Structure 1
């Protein structure tokens, strides 16, 4: 199962599945994943920096909650939605309590002017489910924070990689394994 709420990139996703022989094996859901219904794209994109295609501005897009659509066990989940990861995880609380994916990859994007404590809720949910995660930036398996103080301390550990005079956000990618997968 794969999800995409950006109608401009949906055709590329479908084309890639067809070219690689996966069209009959992967269900494409034309919606974004969130705990908020009917999200409006604001036109955010990286076009001005890289030439990449834009999300259409001010288009309301249908959203789904993972808890409402995922009915089978999940082997691997990838969550990379440019700062909206907490909304995706919030849409999957029951999934992560009931039968969490064995393997998980997700990105954390936080803006330096305001640290997003929503990610703290993500780390707490993953800790409760029994995950161990490795940070690609910190290059280590780490103890996930479960308090605001521990989360703030973790973010300060990124100071070598995030220069607030050059960028206004910071990112890390996490590869996680459920303890029962070993």
Structure 2
């Protein structure tokens, strides 16, 4: 939804989706909304390393798929979970330093720390060149992926994000310099 909203406002969007069924829906939405010239989709999970990772998808609830099997099943325990290998790519590898980035939005069922680590070059940008950051900060999902809100906040401090506020389960972060 965020990808389509940004594209509808005329922004260029990079979207990452490792689950084939969800990827099909995104491609349909790109076609139906006539934003193909603004949206680039990667059939991969954003992460902190290039390669493959095991991903867990829930039959009938693909919106809750996750790298962590526990995280995938947290909200829908009765659904069957299927493990599959998916490609992973750090944002640092697909976004050139010369490319302006206004916003990074991350909602990946507990894998947020790894996505943000893979975007460290982008996040180190100074002042207004640094993207505004929105990420899901759900402690249970983060713990299921062996990370924590504190670990993310500590990392963000090292790359210059000193101002983060919580809005529901999302954290909004910006640089004040």
TM over 0.5: yes
TM bucket, shorter chain? 0.5 to 0.7
Instruction: Note the 1:152-163 alignment, pairs <5 A.
Output: none
**How far apart in 1 are the matches of 2:43 and 2:27?**
11
TM-score, L = length of structure 2:
0.67
Decide whether the 8 Å contact of 2:123 with 2:131 is kept in 1.
no
Gaps of 5+ in 2: 1-13, 62-72
Aligned twin of 2:11: none
Matched, 1:91 2:128: no
1:132 to 141, 144, 163: 163
Aligned twin of 1:177: 174
Aligned twin of 1:69: 94
CA 1:89–1:49 in structure 2 vs 1: closer, same or farther (change >3 Å)? closer
Aligned twin of 2:68: none
Q: Could you tell me how far 1:29 is from its partner in structure 2?
A: 1.1
Aligned twin of 2:153: 123
Return 26-35 or 55-64, whichever deviates more. 55-64
Instruction: Note the 1:1-182 alignment, pairs <5 A.
Output: 1-36=14-49, 37-44=51-58, 47=61, 57-71=82-96, 72-98=99-125, 101-111=130-140, 117-127=147-157, 128-137=159-168, 172-180=169-177
CA 1:69–1:56 in structure 2 vs 1: closer, same or farther (change >3 Å)? farther
Q: Which of 1 and 2 has greater Rg?
A: 1
**How far apart in 2 are the matches of 1:14 and 1:117?**
32
CA 1:179–1:84 in structure 2 vs 1: closer, same or farther (change >3 Å)? same
Q: Could you tell me how far 1:119 is from its partner in structure 2?
A: 3.2
Return 88-97 or 55-64, whichever deviates more. 55-64
Q: Could you tell me how far 1:95 is from its partner in structure 2?
A: 1.9
